[in-house]
Structure 1
Amino acid sequence: MPVEPRLYLDHNATAPLRPEAMAAAVAAMQAGGNASSVHAEGRAARAAIERARAAVGRLAGASPGRVTFTSGATEAAATLLQPDWTAEGRPLHFARLIVSAVEHPCMLRGGRFAADRVSVLDVDADGIVRLDRLEALLAEGPGPALVAVQLANSETGVIQPIDAVARMVQAHGGILVCDAVQAAGRLPLASVPADCLMLSGHKIGGLAGAGAIVARDDCGPVPLLTGGGQERNRRAGTEALPAIAAFGAAAEAAVNDLQNIGALTGLRDWLRDALRTISPCLTVIGENADRLPNTLCVTLPGVAAETAVIAFDLEGVAVSAGSACSSGKVGASHVLKAMGMSDGAARGGLRISLGWSTQRADVERFIDVWQRVVARLGSGSGRAA
């Protein structure tokens, strides 16, 4: 009897490698060359990086010159979250950082700001930042603040009111850094009014090992990595050509994905309705807020997410409990706790994230597996396990 292939519904952790990204990475590995060299191989490597830079710029709605490649979003965060910046050649210094309570851990840790210079911005029960609290924090001083608010949350898919946040930050003379990692290819980025965006290649179907900072204007942090003159002196170190080439190819594909967002939203909502029919006790986290079209975060009474993840894994299905970057740590989700959920409830968030490779048949299969798993866990009709 043939073995059924595994079903992957954990795109927010890492998207499956796109064929075009694999082809670009293989071509880069076969070509070789250092993009800083002046010989033919070096020029070819440089051309491949610049093609990728242009593609990432198109995804972000920015000119190629505004794109700085990094090793990933964590390095981008470490670069951006620091007190010393420049704007139009003039130095800027921020004495404090404001970061939302539902940010990725690499943002919540505050980068190079001292712990006592970091203020955490509360969210409401839907996971939306409290604008009244932001206004109060911005007005506190001393001086303008660097502010970090994500565009969309990796666990819940909740989308932040980034336009309103940007207006408030700009009115107080601050700089807004926006983690757009989960939003890339799922929301248009060109109109996002943040001063700097963060992106990650492997979240859109590229390889791990390449990310980017995209600056809207002539502003940016003092470089984290210094040495050579790579990336226009913004980030030293020989560029990871295969990963960057894959990032560029994935970015081109992600731009095209935006044309199919309606279909992806339809799949997510169909899945939600089917799960509710099977499990009337199901709670959809952030349901009253705008959410990413691919993300569904749910809880079932009495069922720990870690238990459910294992049960689905044994059925050949990959889903997740919270952020993959916190894997190996069995604990309550800091995102769900920030939304006011108890420790017990915050251990129950199960994330199903669709993506570029998800078909209707995949969702149908997951619904069948869900029915078996929840019956086994004793929560199919709302009974506590």
Structure 2
Amino acid sequence: MGKYIYMDNAATTPVKKEVLEEMMPYFTEKYGNPSSVYSLGNISKRAVESAREKVAKVLHADKREIFFTGGGSEADNWAIKGIAFGNKDKGNHIITTKIEHHGILHTCEYLQKNGFEVTYLDVDKYGLINLEDLKNAITDKTILISIMFANNEIGTIQPIKEIGEIAKENKIYFHTDAVQAIGHIDINVKELNIDLLSLSAHKFYGPKGIGALYIRQGVKIDPLISGGGQERNRRAGTENVPGIVGIGKAIELAYENLDGHNDKLIKLRDSLIEKIQSNIPYVRLNGHPTYRLPGNVNMCFQFIEGESLLLSLDMEGIAGSSGSACTSGSLDPSHVLLAIGLPHEIAHGSLRLSLGDFNTEEELDYVVEKLIKIVDRLRRMSPLYEKIKEEK
């Protein structure tokens, strides 16, 4: 493979060298089952508890409130289903938004088939909810509010503190999918009145297949997976010790120099946006201009199809996406872009470039140089674009 530039860090990130080095012994030398009583098992158990402390420290939580899962989607499923079935004696109403990750939306759809009611809040053109809409949606049957911290496609960051206050005032559990936010935002679950929070290691340079769910002490929640007594009888199954060690190291590294990390990404993000907007006409930035993740650039290019754009970029050694990695095989336009008011024909031309620790300014120049040529070539095949050129 020749030159390759990876700009899809919102989909996944590479495992950092330090993370892999810390994980490796738990595949080979320290392979004991944490539930075993002998010394080899105790070594694994201590490693699991050390990682739990690291995750808890970042969230300003108690380590007993951290439960390891198989990833972000499992954590989302557990939070939504666990609260729904564990509190159905109190009510059957859940509030979420139209721009959630499918781990939330499909879980809510499942619950609707099982007697629960779900309100899907609208968002504005930037992807922000209206807090008055949230207040008005609450009923005496509402048991859960689940609103993502930051959107995986357009990067918009929601007013989480205000949402948490509304939930607390109304004695409603508040869950947030923070899969995209962890590693970019300092999150204090106590100050933000968050009752449940989902996260996933592979979004911040940890391994795939390992995540966590923060559950505030006192929250009434059913387990998602039944079996043995692992995770204090709340999540059965032999612990993925190497993965847990990896998530602990990755989250520790992510918050060692959070401000410096974000400053770099914001500088690169704003530079990329400016370069694209100043060199390519008929483009639109999606998401909030300032309340957005530091590495997120999501744009729509009119008169072209996003799939053709992605394939052309890939041929030039550039990896991007048209939205969520979980729906990359779908030909339908992004539900997020439709929710912020974009018509189908414009939403189809979306491109998400999500920057990470290893991207450079030189890579931005290369990407924009190739993007200019690709967009021009694809637009020349569009009768609508040629007609607009003629009218000018």
TM-score range with shorter-chain normalisation?
A: over 0.9
Paired residue secondary structure (1:345): helix
Instruction: State the Cα deviation string for residues 274-298 of structure 1 (Å, max 9, x = none).
Output: 1111113221002445100010100
Alignment of 1:108 with 2:109, yes or no, is: no
Paired residue secondary structure (2:352): strand
Match of 1:160 in 2: 158
Match of 1:192 in 2: 192
TM-score, scaled to structure 2: 0.91
Match of 1:148 in 2: 146
Distance 1:93 1:26, change over 3 A: farther
Match of 2:68 in 1: 69
Match of 1:42 in 2: 41
Matched AA of 1:54? E
Instruction: Give the one of 2, 10, 13 matched to 1:12.
Output: 10
Instruction: State the Cα deviation string for residues 103-140 of structure 1 (Å, max 9, x = none).
Output: 001101234622451111111111101222211111xx
Residue 375 of structure 1: CA displacement?
2.8
Taking the aligned partners of 1:376 and 1:121, their CA distance within structure 2 comes to 39
Match of 2:305 in 1: 304
Taking the aligned partners of 2:19 and 2:89, their CA distance within structure 1 comes to 38
Paired residue secondary structure (1:219): coil
**Alignment check: 8 A CA contact 1:126 1:287 kept:** yes
Distance 1:249 1:5, change over 3 A: farther
Residue 53 of structure 1: CA displacement?
1.0
**Alignment check: 8 A CA contact 1:151 1:178 kept:** yes
Taking the aligned partners of 2:220 and 2:202, their CA distance within structure 1 comes to 24
Residue 92 of structure 1: CA displacement?
6.8
Distance 1:208 1:356, change over 3 A: same
Matched AA of 2:148? Q
Taking the aligned partners of 1:128 and 1:243, their CA distance within structure 2 comes to 34
TM-score, scaled to structure 1: 0.92
Match of 1:266 in 2: 267
Alignment of 1:98 with 2:95, yes or no, is: yes
Q: What is the aligned length? A: 374
Paired residue secondary structure (1:224): coil
Taking the aligned partners of 2:136 and 2:187, their CA distance within structure 1 comes to 28
Paired residue secondary structure (1:97): strand
Match of 1:364 in 2: 365
Paired residue secondary structure (1:120): strand
**Alignment check: 8 A CA contact 1:10 1:318 kept:** yes
Farther-moved stretch of structure 1 (253-262 vs 271-280): 253-262
Between the aligned residues of both structures, percent identity stands at 32
Unaligned runs of 5+ in 2: 387-392
**Alignment check: 8 A CA contact 2:94 2:143 kept:** yes
Taking the aligned partners of 1:376 and 1:245, their CA distance within structure 2 comes to 47
Distance 1:144 1:36, change over 3 A: same
Unaligned runs of 5+ in 1: none
Farther-moved stretch of structure 1 (316-325 vs 106-115): 106-115
Residue 149 of structure 1: CA displacement?
0.2
* Aligned-CA RMSD value: 1.9
Paired residue secondary structure (1:256): coil
Match of 1:119 in 2: 119
Taking the aligned partners of 1:169 and 1:92, their CA distance within structure 2 comes to 19
Q: Matches of residues 1-385 of structure 1 in structure 2 within 5 Å?
A: 4-30=2-28, 31-82=30-81, 83-85=84-86, 93-111=90-108, 113-115=111-113, 117-138=117-138, 141-190=139-188, 191-260=191-260, 261-288=262-289, 290-378=291-379, 384=385
